[in-house]
Structure 1
Amino acid sequence: MIVVTGGAGMIGSMIAWHLNENLNRDDVVVADRFEHADQWQNICHRKLANLLDKDELPAWLASGTKIDAIIHMGAISATTERDFNKLLATNIRYSQHLWNWCAEHDVPFLYASSAATYGDGEMGYQDDHDIDSLRPLNGYGYSKHYFDQWALRCQREGRPCPPRWYGFKYFNVYGPNEYHKGRMASVAFHTFNQVRERGRMKLFRSHREGYADGMQMRDFVYVKDAAKATSHFISSPAESGLYNIGTGKARAFLDLASAVMRSMDRLPDIEFIDTPEDLQGKYQYFTEANVSKLRRAGYNSDFMELEDGVADYVRNYLLQEDSYC
């Protein structure tokens, strides 16, 4: 059995898709908290051995079922979350509980960290373990950073650890099954909806010297690639630790929005607006994954080019009657 927490979320549900469709595994257990009315559709096409509420998982694990790995994607992922007690309970304490269970039962533990741990990028995007100088820009990023620090401390001090553990610093993931994320959904998804509704897309103006409007840069990674790279570590003998998951190539928001419009057979039409006040000072202007460590871990598959990933997302999902994967 493979347990996927947050398995009804975007990345989690696409990991379940990859396990089903590409690895021919239907012994997948999804645990999540369904907080959005249509979120069940993220998993309605999946073959699952069991489906649990996140609070049911500890008791289910105690039943003694053989587990090959826990893939822990469940989290509060909103960068705008201001109640740190919620982040503490969900992103830290729940993760620590699963870590300790995996350590006790000798089960590999794979979990979602985030590129948000890198803050404004001043310290670079190298996924080594010298992370104490990183300064995330928001509570969400800090909650992920704290757990990374805690995991590394457990390893360094010889405290109980899973036999293999991996924390994945996902960069800007876009693609199917993100429809429940609201404001936190990708710019690709927002572009599609704004163009369909109003015929044009609004992007944030640049408020930093050296960046033209729309030329803020991100490492955009298609969710199918993120799922594939994550699943590589289920049976990989790679060294435990932190790993970037991104393409290694930064692209502009203007490139992304234009690719969406072209995939809709529209000419690019973009309006620039001021960055909302609650994001100013907490907004990354450049991210680019260093993926050399991922490659050394034996992951050799190519990442889709931005235009190809966007075309698959728009034409095979967003433009279809059933947009769920």
Structure 2
Amino acid sequence: MIVVTGAAGFIASCLVSRLNQANFNDIVVVDNFSVSKKERNLQGKKIKEFVDRDNFFDWLDEHYEEVEFIFHLGARTDTTEFDKDIFDLLNLNYSKKVWNACCEYQIPLVYASSAATYGAGTLGYDDNEDIIPLLKPLNPYGESKNDFDIWALEQTAKPFFWAGLKFFNVYGPNEYHKGKMASVILHAYNQVHEQGRLALFRSHNPEFKDGEQMRDFIYVKDVVDVCLFLMHHRKNSGIYNLGSGEARTFMSLALNTFEAMGVPANIDFIDTPLTIRDTYQYFTEANMSKLRSIGYDKPFYTLEEGVKDYVQNYLIPHKYY
């Protein structure tokens, strides 16, 4: 059996689908299934068992001999939430329990970290584990992810294989439920569909023109392919960046969304909200050499390819992956 936590969420539900495509059908999905707005993400998928996240460790104590691999992708991901106790509970302490269980039962583990750990990027975006204790995330979400990365690296007891993945700006199908935390592409599509226009945040940094803020956007299909690679690879444990390796502007993202929709571009700019203006990132770009160095050689989707596939094959027909 393969366990996927956070399974009804965006990335994890796409991973379940990708595992099914690879003929892995004994999937145990772990989540808070009382959140009904995520339920469609798992419809039609081949799943062996549903386990509530609060019951997971009791379940694992009984079934650990049958578990081949754990993907721990469950987390509170709201970057505008400032209650540190929530992040300590769900992101830090729950992850420690998953890690310790994988050590006790010798189960290989892939877990979700985040590019939010890099903060303003003053130390760059290299997945060099020596700099992880020096990073300064800009919000409690990023702090919780970095706190766990630091804790994991300090442990003398480790799963025989483990990998932490620093997800950059992931976009793609199955994020319909994420509200304000969904990708800019989904928000752009909805705005254009409803209003025929798109508003982007104005730049408040003189080094960047309006719309020229840059992010490393990575398509979710690439993310789940990397997860499968690591499940089969099972060596070279450590923390890895997972982005496309190429920063692109929000303007490029917007223009590609209009093109994929077959709608003339109509873009204006609004002020970045004061609540996030001081912690707004103007540039992110993953150094992907570490993952490439262990043998992952599949090309990543370009922004043009990813946006076109997402918009035309999922958003317009409102399909799930």
Q: TM-score, normalised by structure 2?
A: 0.97
Across the two proteins, how many residue pairs are aligned to each other? 319
Query: Which of the residues 184, 193, 196 maps onto 2:193?
Result: 196
Distance, in Å, in 2 between the alignment partners of 1:149 and 1:222 is 27
Alignment match, 2:103:
103
Alignment match, 2:122:
122
- How many angstroms does 1:35 deviate by? 5.4
Distance, in Å, in 1 between the alignment partners of 2:224 and 2:27 is 14
Alignment match, 2:320:
324
Distance, in Å, in 1 between the alignment partners of 2:234 and 2:10 is 26
Distance, in Å, in 2 between the alignment partners of 1:31 and 1:45 is 17
- How many angstroms does 1:267 deviate by? 1.4
SS where residue 251 of structure 2 aligns? Answer: helix
Moved over 2 A (4+): 34-38
Alignment match, 1:290:
287
1:217 paired with 2:218, answer no
Q: Which runs of 5+ in 1 are unaligned?
A: none
Alignment match, 2:89:
89
C-alpha contact 1:36 1:180 (8 A) present in aligned 2: no
Alignment match, 2:264:
267
Distance, in Å, in 2 between the alignment partners of 1:202 and 1:176 is 22
Q: Which runs of 5+ in 2 are unaligned?
A: none
RMSD between aligned alpha carbons? Answer: 1.0
Distance, in Å, in 1 between the alignment partners of 2:218 and 2:92 is 25
Structure with the larger helix share: 2
Deviations 1:136-194 (A, max 9, x none): 0000000000000000011xxxx221111100000000000011111010000000000
Alignment match, 2:141:
140
Distance, in Å, in 2 between the alignment partners of 1:34 and 1:269 is 39
Q: TM-score, normalised by structure 1?
A: 0.96
Distance, in Å, in 2 between the alignment partners of 1:317 and 1:193 is 13
Alignment match, 1:276:
273
Aligned AA (1:78): D
Distance, in Å, in 1 between the alignment partners of 2:90 and 2:14 is 21
Aligned AA (1:275): T
Aligned-pair identity in percent equals: 49
Distance, in Å, in 2 between the alignment partners of 1:263 and 1:229 is 26
SS where residue 197 of structure 1 aligns? Answer: helix
Q: Which moved more, 1:182-191 or 1:235-244?
A: 235-244
- How many angstroms does 1:273 deviate by? 0.4
